[in-house]
Amino acid sequence: MTARKNQKSQKETEVKPRVEAGKISCPVLADGSLRFNIPQEHSVGNKKQTQIRLRLKESPENRAIADLITARLNERIATNNYEPEKLNEYIDEYKCLYMGSDCQSPSSKRPKAVKSKTPTLDQLWEMFCQYKVPLVKQTTFNIVFSTVGNHISKLKTKNLEEADTIIAELRRQIKSDSAMYRTLRYISSCCDWAVSRDKILKNPFKLTLDDLREPQTDADPDPFTGEGLCRVIEAYKKHPRYRHYAPFIQFRRATGCRIGEGIGLKWKHVHMEEGYIEFCETLTWTSKGVVHQEGTKTEPSRRFPIKANLHQLLEEHKPANVNPEDYVFLDSNGGHIKYKRFLYSWYGEKRKRTLKDGTKKTYFCKGIVSQLAGLPEEDGGIDHYRTPYSPRHTFITLALDKLARKREVKLSDVAQLADYLGTSPDMIFKHYLGKSGDDSIVDIEEDETASTSIAPLQNNTQPPTETVTQLNFAHQLIEQLTQQLNQITQQNQFLQQQLAQLLSLQAAPQPINCSPRSFEQHESTVPSESDLDQLALLLAVNNQIEGESAPTSEQR
């Protein structure tokens, strides 16, 4: 009986998010269902808090619907258009509105919207776009503003007095929660601009947007391993059709640049003698075609230092008679790299073939990286597919990992790396730096075993050299041994000096007549046989240690 009561109480326990006092909320219960919590002052009779189940289970789509209904209810309260007795009618109305055909129409019909002389949403959006054209980048306008405009053009109603209907239609149009939020955010910004220009009286989407939570949909950065990216590059080099893309991928591995920055790079931006590359042009692909942009995504230009490996790559790739205006990386038919073709080579594309009976069949032809993701690693494959943007994640992760093996990484190091890449330290930590995947990091006892396991390797004259990681460890081991050798050498020199002084004192002639006081002083300075034996033994031990600790030429 007690177990049943505990089980029942556990089911009724709800996970309560923090909400502003006096507002309606819709938390999820332990059993996964959604329920409205109505504060006492907004309940019928103002007697006690009221709970009303939404009759929906927790899911991303149902969560979005619940948030929209909650926002509309709180908007009614804020605008003094709320009657506690009609709460169930409000919920049924909004539920049917946002769920469309999945919900039965409420018994009470909504009053018809009164036609207004105010501009419609599509008219406001057109005016807002004209205002924004000179203020935003062309790529942003072509991608973002065109997408939102397409959603608005598909609406059946564009009357701002029917904001609820507009939101419901957008909800059915846009499946992604993050895309829905961004679209509503731009529409709300448009209405705020219209209010500031006295084109409309108020923004009907403001309260809804304020009550919605921005979805966290940013995927974790997914870098290649160093070996995995090398396998991708080698596969490109061997491919008869796409081998001309191999230097471009090598360049991105060596610089971590964005795709558009690498494609838009010209030879006049490569300053080999001065030792830097200037990223100051970007090519971006939109629904309206290729857009040439002066500057990078975040700044007018930035410089990236040319180190030995990057210098060698550029020297080998540079043609004999180069035109400074030519692009560094060209497509198979000349000109800059076409991103769509590069994506086909990386991921794959749909193709059609004609069968013997004359019918055409569509099939998917895998790209190079997709093919490698389908092969076992022992056969030269990679563990899983990664996007063309992953080389940037790979560069950042490997750069910081390499620095961490040399010394402690400082925040100033991350800031310097961010400056070279045209981003911020916060963006590196949140969106670019990959995870190691090593679960031993949570084992706090691992440090003790690791420290004991390193000790035998310090006396091993043949450090492992099979992989890059083992080579790095061998170099660190040699540095440690070299430091120990220098310390022992200094100590050995000091002991030799001491021994020479003691031997000279011992060989000095003994005074015949001396007072008791002078005899005591002489006795304290002349070494005894046991002192000399002990010092000689210590010197021999140090000589032996020095001989064993010295790294051989192979180790160096």
Listing from the earlier edge strand, what are the strands of the sheet with 50-57? Answer: 14-15, 28-29, 33-38, 50-57
The answer to whether 151 and 169 are in contact (CB under 8 A) is no
Q: Which helix (H) or strand (E) holds 279?
A: strand 276-279
348 φ, ψ to 5°? 135, 180
Mapped onto helix, strand or coil, the DSSP state of residue 482 is: helix
Specify whether the backbone of 503 is left (phi greater than 0), alpha (psi in -120 to 50) or beta.
alpha
CATH number of 226-338+369-390: 1.10.443.10
pLDDT in tens, the chain (556 residues): 444 545 444 444 444 445 577 788 888 888 888 888 888 888 877 777 888 888 888 887 788 888 888 888 888 888 888 888 888 888 888 888 777 645 554 444 444 444 446 789 999 999 898 888 877 777 777 778 888 988 999 999 989 989 889 988 888 888 777 788 889 999 999 999 998 888 898 899 888 777 777 665 445 788 999 999 999 999 999 999 999 999 999 999 999 999 999 999 999 999 999 999 999 999 887 766 787 888 888 889 999 999 999 999 999 999 988 899 999 999 988 889 998 899 999 999 888 888 888 888 888 899 999 999 989 988 889 999 999 999 999 999 999 999 988 888 888 999 999 999 999 888 888 778 887 777 776 666 644 444 444 444 444 444 444 444 555 666 666 777 777 777 777 777 777 777 777 666 666 555 444 444 443 444 444 455 555 565 555 555 555 554 544 444 344 3
Six token digits for residue 438: 């090593």
C-alpha distances in angstroms, 106 versus 45, 63, 84, 88, 96?
Answer: 24, 21, 17, 10, 7
Q: What's the angle, vertex CA 32, arms to CA 28 and CA 37, rounded to 5? A: 30
Identity of the residue numbered 76: R
Instruction: Extract the runs of DSSP E, i.e. beta strands, from 337-420.
Output: 348-354, 360-366
* Beta partners for residue 351, in sequence order: 363
Question: Using CA atoms, how far apart are residues 81 and 202, in angstroms rounded to an integer?
Answer: 16
The full set of domain ranges for the chain reads 2-102, 121-211, 226-338+369-390, 453-505+525-556
Give the contacts of 142 (CB within 8 A, at least 6 positions apart).
286, 287, 288, 291
Question: Using CA atoms, how far apart are residues 367 and 342, in angstroms rounded to an integer?
Answer: 10
Dihedral sign (CA 343, 347, 352, 354): positive
Domain at 121-211, CATH from 2.60.40, 1.10.3470, 1.10.10, 1.10.150: 1.10.150
Question: Using CA atoms, how far apart are residues 337 and 261, in angstroms rounded to an integer?
Answer: 11
Question: Using CA atoms, how far apart are residues 261 and 282, in angstroms rounded to an integer?
Answer: 5
Length of the chain: 556
Give the contacts of 546 (CB within 8 A, at least 6 positions apart).
485, 488, 489, 492
Question: Using CA atoms, how far apart are residues 282 and 300, in angstroms rounded to an integer?
Answer: 10
